[in-house]
A and B are shown apart, each in its own frame.
Chain A
Amino acid sequence: MLLALDTATPDVTVALRDDDRVVATAGGDHPMRHGEQLAPAIAEVLAAVDATPRDVTAIAVGTGPGPFTGLRVGIVTARTMAAVLGIPTYGVCSLDVLAAQAADAGAVEGRFLVASDARRTEVYWAAYDVAGPGADVVRLDGPHVGPAADLPAELRALPVVGEGGRLYPVAFGDVRGPERPSAAALAEVVAAERVALSDPEPRYLRRPDAVELSARKRVS
C-alpha cells in the first residue's frame, strides 16, 4: 500500500491507497500542530483498514514549498518510516499536487498558476499547463517565492489556484479553488505517475534568517 502525507500547509493530511484506490484518509483538526497530529493521523489510516506499518510498500511525501517547521515534520516522518521498513520514499512538489486537484475538479484547464501562503506577505508559486482532468501535470516555471505583486503581469492574469490567490486578490485577478493540497490527491497522482518524483528533500526556497557576525556592540 502507498502511504501519502503532506505537511507543507497549516493542514496535516494523510491518505492510504491500495492497488486500486484511496482506502482511508485522516487529518488534524488544529492548524499548524503538525508535530502532534501527523503520527496519530498515520495510525488512524492504518487502523481504518486493519493494516500495519509493514503493509506499507512505499511512501509519498509533499516536499513543499511551505513553512519550514511543519514541512520537516512530514519529511522526517516519511524518511524514518521508509528507513525502518526498507521501502522507497517519493517526494512530490506540494504545488504540483494542488495543480492536479484543480485540473481534476475542472476548475482550470491549460495554463494557470498555483500560489500558496509563504507568510511575510509573500507567496510560493509555480506556473502549470495541464490539458484536462487526469492529464499529466506539466510545471512550466517554479516553484518560486516572492511578493504576489512582483510576478510578471502576464502570469498574474492567468487563473490562480491555492490560498495565495485568496490572500492577494488585488495582485491575482482570477482566483479559483481548491486552496490546499490533499494527501488523497497526492496518492492518486503518484500512483498514476502524473507528476515528477524527487528525493524527499524539503523545498525551502529561502535561506535561514541569520546575520553573520559583525563588529561587536559597545556597552559603554
Chain B
Amino acid sequence: MTDEPLVLGIESSCDETGVGLVRGTTLLADAVASSVEEHARFGGVVPEVASRAHLEAMVPTLERACDEAGVSLWDVDAIAVTSGPGLAGALLVGVAAAKALALTLGKPLYGVNHVVGHVAVDQLEHGPLPPECLALLVSGGHTNLLRVSDIASDVEELGGTLDDAAGEAFDKVARLLDLPYPGGPSIDAVAAEGDPAAIRFPRGLTSQRDLERHRYDFSFSGLKTAVARWVEAKEAAGEPVPVADVAASFREAVCDVLTRKAFDAARAHGITDMVVGGGVTANARLREMAAVRAEAAGVRLRTPRPRLCTDNGAMIAALGAAVVAAGQEPSGLDLAVDSSLPPSEVRG
C-alpha cells in the first residue's frame, strides 16, 4: 500500500477550491474552501467571484491538505488537476497552481475530467470499481448518465442534460418559492413536510417520441417553467402557495426522471452496478428512490458519502491515482483548460 504513489488533486471548476491527497484508493486528506456564501445574494455562482475566491484559497488549502495528511508537498509523486469541464476562469486558477507545483517539485502533471472524478471518488469509499458500471452524476453544473468500463480510459456518455443541470433546476425553483440559495438543501428540507403526489409536474424527455431520440437524456427547463406557471396561477387566483407540496412534487419529478432513466439504462445494457454521485446526491429523496429502484432491479448501488459527492480535491486525486496506475502519459506544462470537456474524455 505505502509503495503506491502519493497523488495530489486540485479542483477549482466551480465554487469550491479543493485539494485532496490519495495513495491508491486510500484517502489521506480532503481540504475544501467554498465560496458558496459569497454567491448567495446573486442567486447562483458568479464566475468572477468564484475565480477571485480560488486565488485567495489556493495556497492555504494546499497547506491544509498537507497538514491533514501529515505530509510535505515534496513527498507528492504526481499532481492531478481538473482541466474541465467547468468555468474557464475558475479552472485556470487550479490548473496554473498545479503547473506551478509540477514544475517546482519536478513531478508529473495529469489534467483530468471533473465529471469522471465524481465517479472515481467512490473508489476511496467502496474500493475498486467493478469491471463495468453505470454512473449517474447529478450536480449543480452537470447531469450525466455514463457507462464506465475503465475509470482511467473508457467512459461512454449515454446521456446528459439538454438544458439545465438538475442542481440548477433546484436553485431556480427554490428562488421562485422564496427559499434560500443553494436550492438543493432548502427544497429538500421543505419537501419533507409536503406531499410528493400533490401536483403531477412533467417528467422531461419521457414521452414515446422523446425516448426515441433522447432515451438517456434529461431536460429540466420545462419542469422549472411548469412549476413557475403553477405557482403564478395560484398567486393570480389569490390563493396561498402550498410551498411544501410544490417542493415535494418538484423534487419527486426530478428524482423520478433521473432514476427511471438510469435504471432503464442498467436494464438495457445488462449492467448490475451503479454509482450515483455529484452534489445533488445529498438529496434525501434521490438516495431513497435510487435505493428502492436498485433493489427492485437487482442492481448494486454505490453512493459516496455526501462529503465526497460535492466538489472536492479528493475526487481529482482519486482519478489521478487511477490514471497514474494505468501508466498513462503525463500532460504537458502547456495543458489548456476546456470548459466543455465531454465526460468521454477522461484526460483533459
Nearest-neighbour CB distance to chain A for B315, whole angstroms, equals 21
Q: Residues of B contacting A35 with CB < 8 Å? A: 92, 95-96, 336-337
Query: Secondary structure of the B side of the interface?
Result: helix
Interface string of A85-120 (1 = CB under 8 A from B): 100000000000000000000000000000000000
Nearest-neighbour CB distance to chain A for B173, whole angstroms, equals 11
When the two chains form their complex, are residues B105 and A39 in contact, meaning their CB atoms are under 8 A apart? Answer: no
Whether, in the assembled complex, B73 has its beta carbon less than 8 Å from a beta carbon of chain A, the answer is yes
Q: Report the contact-size class of chain A (Cβ under 8 Å from the partner).
A: 35 or more
Contact A80 to B101, CB < 8 A, known contacts A36-B336, A37-B334, A43-B333: yes
Interface string of A17-50 (1 = CB under 8 A from B): 0000000000000000111111110110000000
Whether, in the assembled complex, B4 has its beta carbon less than 8 Å from a beta carbon of chain A, the answer is no
Whether, in the assembled complex, B229 has its beta carbon less than 8 Å from a beta carbon of chain A, the answer is yes
Interface centre among A43, A77, A211 (most CB of B within 10 A): A77
Nearest-neighbour CB distance to chain B for A51, whole angstroms, equals 12
Query: Which of A131-139, A164-172, A212-220 lies on the face that meets chain B?
Result: A212-220
Whether, in the assembled complex, B271 has its beta carbon less than 8 Å from a beta carbon of chain A, the answer is no
When the two chains form their complex, are residues A76 and B48 in contact, meaning their CB atoms are under 8 A apart? Answer: no
Query: Which of A66-74, A147-155, A174-182 lies on the face that meets chain B?
Result: A66-74
Q: Residues of B contacting A83 with CB < 8 Å? A: 59, 62-63, 73
Contact A39 to B63, CB < 8 A, known contacts A53-B106, A81-B103, A220-B228: no
State which of B96, B102, B228 has its C-beta within 8 Å of the C-beta of A73. Answer: B96
When the two chains form their complex, are residues A208 and B89 in contact, meaning their CB atoms are under 8 A apart? Answer: no
Contact A77 to B229, CB < 8 A, known contacts A212-B41, A212-B42: no
When the two chains form their complex, are residues A36 and B334 in contact, meaning their CB atoms are under 8 A apart? Answer: yes
Contact A213 to B42, CB < 8 A, known contacts A43-B333, A83-B63: yes
Query: Secondary structure of the A side of the interface?
Result: helix
Interface centre among A36, A37, A40, A211 (most CB of B within 10 A): A36
Nearest-neighbour CB distance to chain B for A53, whole angstroms, equals 4
Query: Which of B49-57, B128-136, B141-149, B259-267 lies on the face that meets chain A?
Result: B49-57
When the two chains form their complex, are residues B100 and A77 in contact, meaning their CB atoms are under 8 A apart? Answer: yes
Nearest-neighbour CB distance to chain B for A217, whole angstroms, equals 9
When the two chains form their complex, are residues B232 and A220 in contact, meaning their CB atoms are under 8 A apart? Answer: yes
Q: Residues of B contacting A81 with CB < 8 Å? A: 100, 103-104
Nearest-neighbour CB distance to chain A for B149, whole angstroms, equals 31
When the two chains form their complex, are residues B55 and A75 in contact, meaning their CB atoms are under 8 A apart? Answer: yes
Contact A213 to B43, CB < 8 A, known contacts A37-B334, A69-B51, A72-B92: yes
Give the residue name and chain of the A residue nearest to B42 (CB).
Answer: A210
When the two chains form their complex, are residues B46 and A210 in contact, meaning their CB atoms are under 8 A apart? Answer: yes
Whether, in the assembled complex, B292 has its beta carbon less than 8 Å from a beta carbon of chain A, the answer is no
CA distance A34 to B335 in the complex (A): 11
Contact A211 to B106, CB < 8 A, known contacts A76-B96, A77-B99, A219-B225: no
Give the residue name and chain of the B residue nearest to A206 (CB).
Answer: B48
Q: Residues of A contacting B43 with CB < 8 Å? A: 213
From residue 77 to 93 of chain B, which have CB atoms closer than 8 A to chain A?
88-89, 92-93
Contact A68 to B48, CB < 8 A, known contacts A39-B96, A39-B333, A40-B334: yes
When the two chains form their complex, are residues A76 and B104 in contact, meaning their CB atoms are under 8 A apart? Answer: no
Nearest-neighbour CB distance to chain A for B138, whole angstroms, equals 24
Interchain Cβ contacts under 8 Å between A and B, 5 examples: A34-B92, A35-B95, A38-B99, A40-B333, A77-B100
Chain B contact residues, CB within 8 Å of chain A: 41-43, 46, 48-49, 51-52, 54-55, 58-59, 62-63, 73-74, 88-89, 92-93, 95-97, 99-106, 175-176, 225, 228-229, 232-233, 332-337
